[in-house]
Amino acid sequence: MYNREKIKYHTVVQEQLKLNKEKIMKHDKLEEDPLYMDLVKRFDSLELKIDKIILALNPNKERYTYPDFIKEHYPTKLNKLEARIYKESQSVTGGEFANWFQNLTEKERSVYTKIYGH
């Protein structure tokens, strides 16, 4: 993975971690439970580690949020060619995929790359 891809991955993981932590923190009744407190500590520790990884990979402090990830990898409006490539790529399985992909034109491959990011 390139640094930019790693940054994207870690920031998406970080965003999901924060959402899950918020769900867990809503249970005030559990504050006395040692298992609950252990889980909160683990979330905090994991969050700090992910922050350190992002800072190490990203000296320019570039942010990549979960909504950015969704916009990039799951476009909402597809033109006819994009819709066809998406539909075909989802229906092709296993070993058939390699043959299907090799038979794409250069334009179709660029559309595939645009849709899936690779």
pLDDT of res. 73: 65
Confidence at 41, pLDDT banded by 50, 70, 90? confident
pLDDT at 107: 92
Longest distance between any two alpha carbons in the chain, whole Å? 61
| pLDDT-based confidence at residue 92 (cuts at 50, 70, 90) | confident
Report pLDDT digits (tens) over 57-71: 666 666 666 666 666
Tens digit of each residue's pLDDT (9 = 90 or more) over 27-38: 666 777 787 778
Q: State the average pLDDT over residues 98-114.
A: 89
Residue type at 105 in one-letter notation = T
Rg (the chain; Cα; Å):
20
Q: Is 78 helix (H, G, I), strand (E, B) or coil?
A: coil
